Amino acid sequence: MSVFPVIVIFGLSFPPVFVEIIIALMLFWLARRVLTPTGIYDFVWHPALFNTALYCCLFYLVSRLFV
């Protein structure tokens, strides 16, 4: 059971996980902005898979905070 109720924006209902997705997306954007200049992507075999795994990990951490 989530802490947040159903969110209604302009008549559209969004589940409580929508807030968690948006927060994880903002953290992912921030992490990419920090990691790109450091050159970490030079050591990554497949950047798209790395980005997907990074987002999944951040979403998991955010969702654990709200449960």
The arithmetic mean of pLDDT across residues 12-28, rounded, is 92
pLDDT band at residue 5 using 50, 70 and 90 as cut-offs: confident
How many Cα neighbours within 13 Å face the side chain of 29? 6
pLDDT average, residue stretch 59-66: 92
What's the pTM?
A: 0.83
Token match 């955010």: residue?
62
Question: Using an 8 Å Cβ cutoff, are 31 and 54 in contact?
Answer: yes
Q: pLDDT confidence of 8, banded at 50, 70, 90? A: confident
Query: Is residue 41 within 8 Å of residue 35, measured between CB atoms?
Result: yes
Q: Which amino acid is at 35?
A: L
How much is the pLDDT for 4?
67
Structure confidence at residue 3 (pLDDT): 63
pLDDT at 52 > cutoff 70: yes
**Radius of gyration over every alpha carbon of the chain, rounded to an integer in angstroms:** 15
